[in-house]
Structure 1
Amino acid sequence: MSVTRRQILARSGAVGAGIAFTGSVEQLFAGSSAAAHVGGTAGYGPLVPDPAGILDLPRGFRYRILSREGQAMRSGQGPVPSCHDGMAAFPGRPGHVWLVRNHENRPTSPHRVPAISGITYDPEAKGGCTTLEVSSEGAVRTERVAIAGTAVNCAGGPTPWNTWLTCEENEDKAGTNGYTKDHGFVFEVDPVRPERSGAVPLTAMGRFQHEAVAIDPRDGVVYETEDAFEKPFGLFYRFLPNKPKGGPGSLRAGGRLEALRVPGVPDLAVVQAPGTSFDGVEWVPVPDPLAKQTPIRLQDFGRGGITHAQKLEGCYWGGDRVYFVASFARKSEGSLADHFGQVWSYEPGRRRLTLVIAFGPDTDVDTLGESPDNIALAPQGGLMVCEDGGGAQYVYGVTRDRKVYPMARNRQNTGTDAEPEWGEFAGVTFSPDGRTMFVNVYSPGTTFAVTGPWRRR
């Protein structure tokens, strides 16, 4: 039986050593200091087994459970909804943080986002967002519904004006699965006063299986990923808003939606070598952003077609470029090539697309991992990555000198002793002061605040 990365990470003697991986990661840390090293090794040392069997962390780090699905929300609006997913942290009162948390609820999810007057889109849809106000002591002061009546809210992204864009990973039309309205949209959420944003779909940004978004703060262009589940797979989009200076509600003014075309590359999976770049990539207008008759990925983009990719996931802005994640690609499912995860960057100033990192597989201990999902830049330097593969579930860090180290392990076994199962991590984000890492476990839905000796250089 081959030794896997997960087995190595589980061995306390090897955890702190760090594992190298392929790819040029320096550009991911532009303007950021190197991650901390403990005793000359990457990271913060081995994970210490949690006596409570909930969350393993390195020595000196502590966690607090802020919220769990099924518990009563402090607002009295009902139980905490299920399926904790994408999340972001925003500044609040001095020392306070506002968290906006997605709930990727489907019709069968046990705890829906309660339908609240004024902030509900489709009363028959169970997804949405909740918002939490966390004090400087780590106590939850407020927990309430921020938007309801949306479907399968997977990820999203923050705006430069401190609101959250929540994305529906669903494109069901009214009359399907009991829904009364069309789905597949982006919605803006005000974390402090949700009633300001209401529940208005940003229709010009397209109707498709949205995953995540990132905004170029210089010109307001919004980049969007699509996680389509069947061939032909999703596209990478950009939305050019009519009000590029932004501000709350500005995206309602509409704009132009375009999709990425890399000439000669019908599927990003065929690109395997990190560092491979394509200059002069093209942006093609989407014929029907509302997908009234045909899903966007199936529409006619004219001569040259369009470029697809399986499992487009996380998306974030850093420095002068946008980064986006392809979690995996499998020929057996229709992709033109196999891979275990990729991070791409697009530089608008050069119209240049670059494969930055190639992941996995898990059986190769010299590579980073497999099935990356949510990724966040850590203020103390480096990346935090939520791995969404099989088996044990980790949040791990990546240093700028290409070392990976474990930051957290989910110990909540939702299976049996003979066949254990662990819910994936999602929504990793940091408080504005960089002192707290917030992260979700998808199932059972749990939101954690992690504090400790975050080193800075």
Structure 2
Amino acid sequence: MLQSSLGLGVAALGLGPVGKLLAKAGSGLGVSPGYGPLAPVRDRATGLPLLRLPAGFEYTSFGWAGEEIAPGQACPGKHDGMGVVGAEGDIVTLVRNHELTKEPGGSFAPASATYNPDVRGGTVTLRFDTARGEFVDALPSLSGTQVNCAGGVTPWGSWLSCEEVVVQAGQKVRMGDGAVHEMKRSHGFIFEVPGKGLSNAEPLLAMGQMKHEAAAVDPRDGIVYLTEDHKPHAGFYRFIPRTPGELHRGGRLQMLRAEGAPDLRTGCRVGDVMKVRWVDIDEPTRGTDSDGGPGGLVRQGLANGGTAFIRLEGVIVEQGRVFFISTSGGDAGCGQMWAYRPAEGLLELVFESPSREVLDYPDNIVASPRGGLVICEDSVQPVQRLYGLDRAGGLFEFCRNNVVLDGHRGFSGDFREEEWAGACFSPDGRWLFANVYEPGFTVAITGPWRPGLI
């Protein structure tokens, strides 16, 4: 695209370790042996072979759907995005999203942490003892929200829980029990959940009403980068807070514009570099478009000159760069990864999957303390995997969903096609946490980690 006119490439961008490994992966430098072949490993908590892992790795499951999280209140299912929001000694605190849409039952959190009592999405806060390798407890921390998909951890120790739906107050929605509810409040917002205690359940309206996916805060200036899981068009956004670290005070929402490139869904080459500027979103709370659909924000941005992507999902800030995923982007429709460098105002395509055999529908991502990257898969494949991308740019399969249940905790069936989500590391790097979306549980994985892998 614009690489030749700018005279820029990977070397000129001066990418850090994550950027270099992605650039190497994108240039086709290969497949990594990773930690070796996978085999079934029994869960320390249930004794069941829920995962396939390399030799020497072990794990424990916890936070299952159906477990009691408050007196008379069962843990909801559809375990999605998650992050580590704090640690006190060996006790790590995580906040986990539950992507519930039309499930009956209403809010599972206390009234003070409930936004709309008719709906059941929200978050659960969990604690895990990294010294003992054991689950401690779980408590509801936000509910009455809808389709809480991904989100992101803030530098000040909270979790941004993102609704991946646009619903207006007064809209009638048929719930899973067949009842029709008239929505008391609008949805499609971001909610902040503190590392300790309950959310105030107040939407951060200035951050927009849209099909939110993930969020990542740049610790240098407090700007929040946001992805939108929408098709056929999606935007990549930034929120400039009026007061860094105090998102409730409002700010300015903008969409990325790549100069000379109004549409980056297809037709790109790995290494393409383009200049970036940002266009304003004039009405952040107008999430519905003219035909009643959920594309109000992206249409505003495109009308102001913003660039179209498709199905944007995971986003992280590493080494001063913002990496984000387009799950179904690229000529093969199997996924792209982009890198935005704020200091230079440049955007580069650093990886594009050429086929489903290489990588299919990457979703949540997290950087490893050992120099690699963990990629959650959410594809149409019959088995879902956690991938690793090593420091040399080699892709490898690290973990495979092996969940087949016969009545355990009331669940029966083959769940191997259920997605991975919410991958994150403990502060000491010894434990990798991740969620199996259905039947709904979290795993903590540990083992013989090696530098340069994940």
Q: CA deviation at 1:98?
A: 0.2
1:169 to 161, 164, 172: 164
Q: CA deviation at 1:146?
A: 1.0
Compared CA separation, residues 175 and 339, structure 1 to 2 (3 A): same
Between stretches 41-50 and 338-347, larger displacement belongs to 41-50
Q: CA deviation at 1:429?
A: 0.5
Gaps of 5+ in 2: 1-9, 23-30, 43-47, 174-180, 290-295, 407-411
1:438 to 406, 423, 433: 433
One-letter amino acid matched to 1:222: V
One-letter amino acid matched to 1:298: R
Note the 1:241-260 alignment, pairs <5 A.
241-244=241-244, 246=245, 250-260=246-256
Q: CA deviation at 1:59?
A: 1.1
2:272: which partner in 1?
276
2:57: which partner in 1?
61
Q: Which protein is richer in strand relative to its size?
A: 2
Q: Percent of aligned pairs with the same residue?
A: 39
Compared CA separation, residues 77 and 419, structure 1 to 2 (3 A): closer
Q: CA deviation at 1:254?
A: 0.4
8 A contact 1:146–1:191 mirrored in 2? no
2:109: which partner in 1?
115
Q: CA deviation at 1:380?
A: 2.0
> In 1, distance between residues paired with 2:318 and 2:372?
12
2:286 to 285, 291, 304: 291
How many pairs align?
Answer: 407
8 A contact 2:389–2:396 mirrored in 1? yes
Q: CA deviation at 1:314?
A: 0.3
Between stretches 41-50 and 291-300, larger displacement belongs to 291-300
Compared CA separation, residues 90 and 400, structure 1 to 2 (3 A): same
C-alpha distance after superposition, 1:402-435 (max 9, x if no partner): 21222111111479x9998521110010001100
8 A contact 1:186–1:202 mirrored in 2? yes
1:392 to 376, 383, 398: 383
1:423: which partner in 2?
418
8 A contact 1:212–1:314 mirrored in 2? yes
SS of equivalent to 1:443: coil
Structure having greater relative contact order (Cα 8 Å, sep ≥ 6)? 1
Note the 1:355-366 alignment, pairs <5 A.
355-363=349-357
SS of equivalent to 1:288: coil
2:339: which partner in 1?
345
Is residue 372 of structure 1 aligned with residue 373 of structure 2?
A: no
Between stretches 64-73 and 121-130, larger displacement belongs to 64-73
Give the TM-score normalised by structure 1: 0.83
8 A contact 1:113–1:145 mirrored in 2? no
1:404: which partner in 2?
395
8 A contact 1:90–1:432 mirrored in 2? no
> In 1, distance between residues paired with 2:299 and 2:18?
37
Q: CA deviation at 1:451?
A: 1.1
SS of equivalent to 1:121: coil
> In 2, distance between residues paired with 1:346 and 1:130?
32
> In 2, distance between residues paired with 1:41 and 1:208?
38
Between stretches 121-130 and 84-93, larger displacement belongs to 84-93
Note the 1:155-304 alignment, pairs <5 A.
155-176=150-171, 177=173, 178=181, 179-194=183-198, 197-228=199-230, 230-231=231-232, 233-244=233-244, 246=245, 250-279=246-275, 281-291=276-286, 294=289, 295-299=296-300, 302=303
Compared CA separation, residues 127 and 149, structure 1 to 2 (3 A): same
Compared CA separation, residues 49 and 111, structure 1 to 2 (3 A): farther
Q: CA deviation at 1:440?
A: 0.2
Give the TM-score normalised by structure 2: 0.84
> In 1, distance between residues paired with 2:413 and 2:137?
40
Q: CA deviation at 1:124?
A: 1.1
Compared CA separation, residues 175 and 394, structure 1 to 2 (3 A): same
> In 1, distance between residues paired with 2:228 and 2:356?
25
Between stretches 424-433 and 404-413, larger displacement belongs to 404-413
2:309: which partner in 1?
309
How large is the Cα RMSD of the aligned pairs? 2.7
8 A contact 1:277–1:353 mirrored in 2? yes
C-alpha distance after superposition, 1:119-169 (max 9, x if no partner): 000111210000101113122222011111111000000111111101000
One-letter amino acid matched to 2:348: T
Note the 1:69-88 alignment, pairs <5 A.
69-73=65-69, 75-76=70-71, 78-88=73-83
1:133: which partner in 2?
127
> In 2, distance between residues paired with 1:67 and 1:33?
33
SS of equivalent to 2:68: coil
Q: CA deviation at 1:180?
A: 1.3
Q: CA deviation at 1:371?
A: 0.5
8 A contact 2:68–2:75 mirrored in 1? yes
Note the 1:5-84 alignment, pairs <5 A.
27=15, 29-30=17-18, 42-50=33-41, 52-73=48-69, 75-76=70-71, 78-84=73-79
Compared CA separation, residues 449 and 402, structure 1 to 2 (3 A): same
Compared CA separation, residues 291 and 141, structure 1 to 2 (3 A): same
2:144: which partner in 1?
149
One-letter amino acid matched to 1:204: A
SS of equivalent to 1:129: strand
8 A contact 1:414–1:422 mirrored in 2? no
> In 2, distance between residues paired with 1:115 and 1:28?
42
SS of equivalent to 2:88: coil
SS of equivalent to 2:247: helix
One-letter amino acid matched to 2:297: I
C-alpha distance after superposition, 1:373-411 (max 9, x if no partner): 011111122011111112211101111212122211111
